[in-house]
């Protein structure tokens, strides 16, 4: 809640190197409110950040920066320098989530003004406004095939929009109607093969679940991840498809208000593992 974005190296994690210094590569300070979400673009050129100052900032690394002149507070401090190159002002309230299209052509932002805004990243101008939601929009995810974008809201719906004309394609509500849980985020995630969407803060009766919305004509929701004891706030698929015993499957993590994270394979009905008391 210090209004800053910090960029970290994952080397110590991926190489199990405890000697690696645990200091951020960069600290980005330009938002006027708490930062709610950050997303790297698929082409690794940009970093987008959204905050409760209603603004989306687009950052780009300056590989030729003079590291001695960082006194104005708008640049990063650390071993990398990131500059805010675009300021996207369109929301009237907190920005809750961001998503890049798989080809980095579009950026979607959603917020507590009940709207989803679509930005063309060639010019960073707004090209569409999606307004069917009637309450706070708290999550957004792009189809890896680039055909759809899905959004999730406090109005207890997951809405799927076509990227060809940004029109509403389908509305999924069944897994959320029994939900009595309140969450600050409702962040869905599309599987890397495009076969399904994992949707947060769903319920089976009074049992909190993550709903699995399958890519089919009616977008069925017969499957779910069951095991958490409190509302699931966020789900995230690994971007890679894995092969286990000759079967290709996707891996998804779910995080809940019960202070636990569970990891699932879409080919199995029970979690692969879980971490509790976090």
Q: Residue 22 pLDDT > 80, yes or no?
A: no
Q: Residue 70 pLDDT > 70, yes or no?
A: no
Q: What is the mean pLDDT of residues 46-65?
A: 94
pLDDT attached to residue 71? 45
Per the prediction, the chain carries an average pLDDT of: 92
Structure-token pair, residue 188: 């869905």
Contacts of the segment 260-266: beta carbons below 8 A, 24+ positions apart: 260/228, 260/229, 262/225, 262/227, 262/228, 264/225, 266/191, 266/195, 266/196, 266/212
pLDDT attached to residue 77? 57
Top pLDDT among 62 and 15 is at 62
pLDDT attached to residue 74? 53
Q: What is the mean pLDDT of residues 134-154?
A: 97
| pLDDT tens, residue by residue, 102-131 | 999 999 999 999 999 999 999 999 999 999
pLDDT attached to residue 79? 84
pLDDT attached to residue 67? 53
Q: Residue 46 pLDDT > 90, yes or no?
A: yes
Q: What is the mean pLDDT of residues 197-207?
A: 94
| pLDDT tens, residue by residue, 205-245 | 889 999 999 999 999 999 999 999 999 999 999 999 999 88
pLDDT attached to residue 12? 72
**pLDDT band at residue 23, thresholds of 50, 70 and 90?**
confident
pLDDT attached to residue 244? 87
Q: Residue 40 pLDDT > 70, yes or no?
A: yes
Q: Residue 276 pLDDT > 90, yes or no?
A: yes
| pLDDT tens, residue by residue, 249-271 | 999 999 999 999 999 999 998 99
CA 157/CA 81 separation, integer angstroms: 40
Q: What is the mean pLDDT of residues 16-30?
A: 80
């Amino acid at each position: 809640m210090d209004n800053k974005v910090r960029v970290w190296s994952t080397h110590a994690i991926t190489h199990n190197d405890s000697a690696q210094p645990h200091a951020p590569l960069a600290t980005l300070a330009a938002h006027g409110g708490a930062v709610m979400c950050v997303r790297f673009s698929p082409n690794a050129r940009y970093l987008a950040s959204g905050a409760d100052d209603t603004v989306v900032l687009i950052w780009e690394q300056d590989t030729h920066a003079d590291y001695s002149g960082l006194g104005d507070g708008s640049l990063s401090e650390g071993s990398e320098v990131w500059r805010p190159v675009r300021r996207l002002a369109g929301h009237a309230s907190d920005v809750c989530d961001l998503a890049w299209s798989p080809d980095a052509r579009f950026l979607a932002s959603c917020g507590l003004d009940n709207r989803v805004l679509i930005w063309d990243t060639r010019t960073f101008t707004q090209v569409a406004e999606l307004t069917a939601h009637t309450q706070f929009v708290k999550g957004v995810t792009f189809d890896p095939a680039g055909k759809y974008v899905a959004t999730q809201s406090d109005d207890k719906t997951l809405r799927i929009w076509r990227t060809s004309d940004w029109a509403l394609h389908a509305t999924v509500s069944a897994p959320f109607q029994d939900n009595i849980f309140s969450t600050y985020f409702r962040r869905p995630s599309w599987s890397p093969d495009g076969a399904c969407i994992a949707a947060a803060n769903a319920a089976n009766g009074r049992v909190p679940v993550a709903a699995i919305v399958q890519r089919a004509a009616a977008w069925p929701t017969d499957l779910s991840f069951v095991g958490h004891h409190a509302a699931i706030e966020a789900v995230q698929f690994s971007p890679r498809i894995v092969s286990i015993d000759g079967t290709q499957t996707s891996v998804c993590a779910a995080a809940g208000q019960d202070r636990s994270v569970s990891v699932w394979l879409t080919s199995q009905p029970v979690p692969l593992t879980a971490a509790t008391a976090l």
